[in-house]
Amino acid sequence: MADATAEYTADDLMKLEGLEGIRKRPDMYIGGRDVNGLHHLVFEIVANSVDEALAGRCDNITVEYNQDGSCTVTDDGHGIPVGMNKQTGKPGVEMVLSDLHAGGKFEGKAYNTAGGLHGIGLKAVNACSDRTVVTVWQAGKEHVIEFSRGKKTKDLEVTGDAEKTGTRVMFVPDMTIFETTDFKYATTATRLRELAFLAKGLKIHLVDHRGEGKDEIFHFKEGIKEFVAWHNRNKTKINEEVVYVHKNVNPGADEEVEVEAAFQWCDGEGELPTHTYGNYINNPFGGTHLTGFRKGLTRGLGRYITRYVEKKGKKKVVMPSGDDYREGLYAVISVKVKNPQFEGQTKVRLLNREVESAVDQVVAEAMEMYLEEHPKSAERICEHSLIAARAREAARKAREVVRKGALQTGFLASKLADCLTKKPDEAELYIVEGDSAGGSAKQGRERTFQAILPLRGKILNVEKATLAKMLQHTEIQNLIASIGTGIGVEDPSKGGFDISKLRYKKIIIMTDADVDGSHIRTLLLTFFYRQLAPLIDAGNVFVAQPPLYKVTRKKKSEYVRSDREMNDTLMRMGIEGASMRVPKDMAIGAAGREFSGAQMRSEIFERLIKLEDLASKISRKGVNPNRYYAQYNSEHKTLPTTLIFSHEKTRYFHDHQESELNKFIGERLEAGFEVMTPAEIGNRETDMDKTLDRDKVEERVEMPELAKQAADVISQLEVRGFAAWTINGRENQAEQFMLRVDEADEIPVLSLNELLQSIREQGRKGISIQRYKGLGEMNADELWDTTMDPGNRVLMKVTMEDADAADEMFTILMGDQVEPRRQFIERHALEVKNLDI
């Protein structure tokens, strides 16, 4: 506690110079020190490039994640001004990066509409980065300036000539500020895809030079109309045509609002996400544009439905409310205003009052016009809304039954083995599969804080069921009553969701490791995602990770949680007492050496395991890893960075073979073939390009980072005396390694990989391996030791970084459309492990 008697004088006041305020309180400027704050830096830079696109000066943006942990954003806009500013005597680019509230968007001269308006964005990036390098191409010259932690380390200088214009910002996030500096590809791809949808014609290229070397191009000609169609591509549509409107309200005035909206109804219960944007900035908490959209939709559709009900002569109709009109609706609302007012630097909500009435007016008019021009779709939308109203009323009654009946009939005493504590922060609920597992869990648990809820059979697939039907399902009723929060948007007093009534801080799904267990886990996750998503957002939902194997040797048992750990266990057991001899006449550097088991592990096997891991990533690019490793160039210590799957044969090119690569591509073009990357092919197919003839396309695969990682491992083996060919052997090979497993037994092996497999096989001897498929196979003590003891267990937290991606996955896997599910299975078939048939 602070000392109340301590003096507080003028000397206690501190003025933070330059960007120190941002470094001291980054949460105020970028929203936090977590992974969201980290990505906010990337999106601030991209937002500036998008502002250039809004002004008509930028067509291409490239975002790159580099191997050294840095990020580079490049655009082909006008370039940040490099001339001297009369007010400060500094180059414009230095002001933009170091002077708070300095920028070109305050008076609206250079930018009619822009997302950036506080003059903070690039300063926040600079302040929160260990190193920032900005390159500007302008007026025929290349200009470079450098900073470190917000302070200039190198003055602006001309470094060469330039024929192009634009800006490149490279930054390395400061590890002393952020909890993590690992950029997430999926998070970035989602945001960049959104921006490409919002900015018609803008091409955004995302390149990840780390790991597998991912690469995507986002380029959409129909903008947000295509955004809605893309999101709903795997759903059953109520209206096939996307409702789209684009209109300026009060053109030429200071209060001018450019409104663009696209929306479509799909079969299913609940309102789908409504994405709202102000000047291309995502406003996750909505704002005046969202309020205006809901009002306009309700007015336009409400008037039509009233006439529809009268015309059809329907009686005793439950008339829809605003929530019913939005049942199954997916919408994207984008507005542009001259003087945007956002909530906070992270711009989570749009506040401009003139936007609400503008969006309301435009959407209501568009809705009425659409309904008049599309009578068949209008009828389906009306019936959909009326059904939603009836379902809402039925669900309300069913929810009331669940709320009152479950607790009043003593359900918790008969079905749930509750814990003793009544403090939710200390309590855990294990949802287990079947009575046998439930019995072991009840016996093995710590009754003080662990509750057990056994489920009988598979629960209902809520993706396909109505809310009323779902609430009649006994196991769903048991779940809702046990968790205590209720579900739905109704008032909590009527059974609606209320997180303050959560009875357990941790809700842990614990199912068997077989196919039935996976199915039940997926059904439960579908239920939580569709009905209790706030619990996922709050970090309350977990999946238990019971061991896959029990390994017994000489009456001693240990538990193994994964196949990777199993391979490591077998290797550890196999090298006990083993050694490997390299014959003296073998033409490699290690000739004549003998390796103990520990030496084999540290000098050979650890590197082979890295190559195994890399091989799985290489395979996912359609490349045979063994053939690929055979292309290792010992002189340059490299592997091919570019592969072209020619119709004749696969061609490999190293970095030092750029001229040969360009020559080959030229020859293929002359022969009538297009050489394209997977991203370019996907982009052309997304654009529905009818001119793309796949028979005339040869795929170009770039994998510089995988090539570097694998080449580094192979060169490490070379340093230890093992030539690259020894990894997998070679044709007509006479040389052999000799593996000695005991005094009298030597096994000849042809390659290092064969040596590793032989060691693993040796590790299997004399041991018993039990693969657990059911939790009921463990006794109570085993279940406690491996899966329920907080000191030993491993829990996987269920998170939702990308709501749209989660929605798409549940729709594909659990929805009623068969074709998207078949395509998903075919696309990912090669990634399946431990298929249980």
Whether 132 contacts 146, CB under 8 Å: yes
CA–CA distance, 366 with 242 (Å, rounded to integer)? 12
User: What is the DSSP secondary structure assignment for residue 342, as one 8-state letter?
Assistant: B
- Cα-atom radius of gyration of the chain, to the nearest Å? 31
Whether 493 contacts 400, CB under 8 Å: no
- Torsion over CA: 477, 483, 489, 491 (sign): positive
- How long, in residues, is the chain? 837
The residue type of 642 is: T
CA–CA distance, 675 with 699 (Å, rounded to integer)? 6
Q: What does each C-alpha distance from 690 to 684, 686, 687, 817 come to in angstroms?
A: 9, 11, 9, 26
With left for phi above 0 and alpha for psi between -120 and 50, is residue 484 left, alpha or beta? Answer: left
Query: Between 704-719 and 606-619, two packed helices, what is the crossing angle to 10 degrees?
Result: 160
Task: Specify whether 310 is catalytic.
Answer: no
- Kindly state the tokens that stand for 535: 């619990």
User: Which of 64, 426, 516, 785 is flagged as catalytic?
Assistant: 516
Q: Which residue spans within 467-562 are E strands per DSSP?
A: 506-510, 541-544, 549-553, 556-560
CA–CA distance, 322 with 295 (Å, rounded to integer)? 8
CA angle (647, 639, 752) in 5-degree steps: 105
CA–CA distance, 340 with 115 (Å, rounded to integer)? 8
Whether 626 contacts 618, CB under 8 Å: no
Q: Could you tell me which residues come within 8 angstroms of residue 251 by beta carbon, excluding any fewer than 6 positions away?
A: none
**Which string of b and e fits 689-727 if b means at least 16 CB within 10 Å?**
eeeeeeeebbbbbbbbbbbbbbbebbbebbebbbbbbbb
The per-residue DSSP string of 616-634 comes to HHHHTTT--HHHHHTT-BT
Task: Specify whether 514 is catalytic.
Answer: yes
Task: Specify whether 254 is catalytic.
Answer: no
Q: Could you tell me which residues come within 8 angstroms of residue 829 by beta carbon, excluding any fewer than 6 positions away?
A: none
Whether 110 contacts 153, CB under 8 Å: no
**Residue in 60, 18, 320, 24 with CA at minimum distance from that of residue 165:** 60
Helices (H), 734-814: 752-764, 780-783, 803-814
CA–CA distance, 438 with 812 (Å, rounded to integer)? 31
User: Which of 146, 256, 267, 514 is flagged as catalytic?
Assistant: 514
CA–CA distance, 545 with 786 (Å, rounded to integer)? 9
User: Which of 433, 674, 699, 754 is flagged as catalytic?
Assistant: 433
Task: Specify whether 831 is catalytic.
Answer: no
CA–CA distance, 129 with 116 (Å, rounded to integer)? 20
User: What is the DSSP secondary structure assignment for residue 139, as one 8-state letter?
Assistant: T
CA angle (519, 525, 529) in 5-degree steps: 145
**Residue in 663, 619, 662, 656 with CA at minimum distance from that of residue 639:** 656
- Torsion over CA: 371, 376, 382, 388 (sign): negative
The residue type of 100 is: L
User: At 260, which helix (H) or strand (E)?
Assistant: strand 257-265
**Strand ranges across the sheet with 549-553:** 556-560, 549-553, 768-771
Give the catalytic positions in this structure: 433, 512, 514, 516
